[in-house]
């Protein structure tokens, strides 16, 4: 048996490959950024060839860094930006249109029509989701309706649909495997999370042929074998999971009531609800956390569209900073009472507002306002949005009292302390914040026998630091009240 596990972590702004030893430690990481395309207001696209080429190149780079070959790898897993939609030719593997990214809002009007038609309750009951452009189904319909000949070709069985995991799997296996896992399927708005199958009524609603869809597997399962021509040797692909579900698994949140929050391009707070598909009263999502040996673990999730992307915009859009690691020192040098609020609704607002037509704004500017205040407001906006999710979970009766965090922003100690203060809850940071990649590595290791059980995996997770709230409740409530006023002012209901 080999000595390594390999994860492809295909994200929204970059692709990474992470090589793990069989004890769960990181041996090598490679990361490559790729372009984003914004062809219209609220539209976000990727070139699928960029997704594929960066994934393969990152894998090759980590093997080279560790001076090993693919034959040293026990198994690999794929974790991916969810909901992002690709349709490709069944014979050539070429996409017929760019990947439509999860952030994309082009189907907002159609989703509003679904709501007006009274369809959303049925969608929510079957899928745990809301009628929102975020999810894959309306993106698939848009491509079939807007690319010449696409609907006819789909009807003839010439086209395949998949989220990014399926697209990568198909290419890594040289077209031999068209599969996804239950966690990714649960984000398409086509999958019945209770029956655990593609739903005929939903396929008819969106006019999507069943022949396009991948086979739905457990999250740790036999997905296929990566072709030797790609990797240098055949490698079993034994795990796939959406990035947020993979992070929940990597954080060892295996017990009902445990929660994690990932701070990447967006922010996603996910609470394990065990075998119960809990129905939210406050517009949170019910989703599949993972499926092992045919048994489903569910989660309640709040999705924030813009987290780290707000800092990226301050760097690349406004050019207020040169490097993202500057933000912590700027925040430390800024008074908390600066009075500035940034609402980064660049592509609408996610949970609990679900307002696709809201747009971003900065409030409270004075002559004293400078770069450090605006940058700090950007960081704080992520904390306030997390507070929104926490408050929503309170309404649903499942408020997490502690939070395990990961993602790029989890390296910012100032951010984590303010997050703890605003939440009024303990924030725990693991020693390894590569939890998304680690999650599918754990799943692949579980399937291959490297790890014997969930308890074995839990013993590997280790705490690096905890942050406890030091802010008074009165101060916390005051800051949050200012945020709620700012959000109200960007609401599309006022426009």
User: If residue 197 lies in a helix (H) or strand (E), which one and from where to where?
Assistant: strand 197-198
Longest Cα pair distance anywhere in the chain, in angstroms?
65
β-pair type (14-21, 26-33):
antiparallel
Taking only the tens place, the pLDDT of each residue in 49-91 is 999 999 999 999 999 999 899 899 999 999 999 999 999 999 9
Phi, psi of 144 (to 5 degrees): -65, -35
Give CA–CA dist 378/313, Å, rounded. Answer: 10
CA atoms within 13 A on the CB side of 350: 26
How far is residue 6's CA from residue 59's CA, in Å, rounded to a whole number?
A: 8
Does the pLDDT at position 495 exceed 70? no
Flag whether pLDDT at 114 surpasses 80.
yes
Give the angle subtended at the CA of 268 by the CAs of 494 and 462, to the nearest 5°.
155
Contact by Cβ (8 Å): 137, 189: yes
Is the pLDDT at 494 greater than 60? The verdict is: no
Q: Are 432 and 18 in contact (CB under 8 A)?
A: no
Distance CA 326, CA 459 (A): 35
Whole-angstrom distance, CA of residue 89 vs CA of residue 322 = 41
Please, which residues have CB within 8 angstroms of residue 344's CB and are 6 or more apart in sequence? Answer: 306, 309, 310, 313, 360, 378, 381
What are the counts of helices (DSSP H) followed by strands (DSSP E) for the chain? 17, 23
Q: Which pLDDT belongs to residue 283?
A: 84
H or E element, residue 291: strand 285-292
> Does residue 493 carry a pLDDT above 70?
no
Q: Residue 354: its pLDDT value, please?
A: 81
In the prediction, which pLDDT does 10 show? 95
What is the rounded average pLDDT for all residues in the chain? 92
Confidence bin at 348 (pLDDT 50/70/90): confident
**pLDDT tens-digit readout, 197-216:** 999 999 999 999 999 999 99
| pLDDT on residue 1 | 58
pLDDT of residue 401: 64
In percent, the amount of the chain with pLDDT more than 90 equals 73
Instruction: Please tell me the predicted confidence (pLDDT) of residue 82.
Output: 92
What is the pLDDT, as a whole number, of residue 225? 96
The pLDDT of residue 368 is 92
Burial of 140 (0-12, 13-18, 19+ CB in 10 A): buried
Range scoring the smallest mean pLDDT among 32-41, 190-199, 288-297, 397-406? 397-406
pTM, entire model = 0.86
Residue 405 pLDDT greater than 90, yes or no: yes
User: Using CA atoms, how far apart are residues 225 and 78, in angstroms rounded to an integer?
Assistant: 12
Structure confidence at residue 472 as a pLDDT band (50, 70, 90): very high
Token pair recorded at residue 2: 């080999």
pLDDT at 282: 83
Mean pLDDT of 415-438: 91
Is residue 492's pLDDT more than 80? Answer: no
């Amino acid at each position: 048996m080999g000595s390594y596990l390999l994860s492809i972590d295909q994200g929204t702004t970059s692709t990474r490959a992470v090589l793990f030893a069989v004890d769960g430690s990181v041996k090598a990481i490679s990361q490559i950024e790729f372009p984003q395309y914004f062809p219209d207001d609220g539209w976000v696209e990727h070139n699928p060839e960029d997704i594929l080429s960066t994934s393969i190149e990152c894998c090759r780079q980590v093997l080279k860094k560790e001076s090993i070959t693919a034959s040293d790898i026990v198994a690999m897993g794929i974790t991916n930006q969810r909901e992002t939609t690709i349709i490709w030719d069944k014979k050539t593997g070429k996409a017929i249109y760019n990947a439509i990214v999860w952030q994309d809002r082009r189907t907002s009007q159609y989703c509003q029509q679904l709501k007006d038609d009274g369809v959303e309750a049925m969608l929510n009951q079957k899928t745990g989701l809301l009628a929102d452009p975020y999810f894959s189904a309306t993106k698939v319909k848009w491509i079939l309706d807007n690319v010449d000949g696409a609907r006819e070709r789909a009807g003839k069985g010439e086209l395949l649909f998949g989220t990014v995991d399926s697209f990568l799997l198909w290419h890594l296996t040289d077209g031999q495997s068209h599969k996804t896992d239950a966690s990714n399927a649960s984000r398409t708005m086509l999958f019945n999370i209770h029956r655990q199958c593609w739903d005929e009524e939903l396929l008819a609603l969106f006019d999507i042929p069943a022949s396009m869809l991948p086979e739905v597997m457990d999250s740790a399962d036999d997905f296929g074998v990566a072709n030797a021509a790609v990797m240098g040797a055949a490698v079993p692909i034994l795990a796939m999971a959406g990035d947020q579900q993979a992070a929940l698994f990597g954080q060892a949140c295996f017990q009902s009531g445990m929660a994690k929050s990932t701070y990447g391009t967006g922010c996603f707070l996910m609470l394990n609800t065990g075998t119960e598909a809990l129905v939210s009263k406050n517009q949170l999502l019910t989703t599949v956390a993972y499926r092992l040996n045919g048994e489903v673990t569910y989660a309640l999730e709040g999705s924030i569209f813009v987290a780290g992307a707000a800092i990226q915009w301050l760097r690349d859009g406004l050019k207020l900073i040169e490097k993202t690691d500057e933000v912590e020192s700027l925040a430390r040098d800024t008074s908390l009472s600066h009075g500035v609020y940034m609402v980064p609704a660049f592509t609408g607002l996610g949970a609990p507002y679900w307002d696709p037509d809201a747009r971003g704004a900065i409030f409270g500017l004075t002559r004293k306002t400078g770069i450090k205040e605006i940058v700090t407001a950007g960081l704080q906006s992520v904390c306030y949005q997390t507070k929104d999710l926490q408050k929503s979970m309170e309404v649903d009766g499942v408020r997490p009292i502690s939070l395990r965090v990961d993602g790029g922003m989890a390296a910012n100690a100032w951010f984590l302390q303010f997050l703890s203060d605003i939440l009024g809850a303990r924030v725990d940071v693991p020693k390894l914040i590569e939890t998304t990649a680690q999650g599918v590595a754990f799943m692949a290791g579980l399937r291959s026998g490297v790890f014997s059980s969930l308890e074995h995996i839990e013993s590997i997770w280790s705490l690096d630091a905890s942050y406890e709230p030091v802010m008074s409740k009165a101060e916390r409530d005051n800051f949050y009240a200012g945020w709620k006023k700012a959000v109200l002012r960007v609401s599309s209901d006022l426009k």
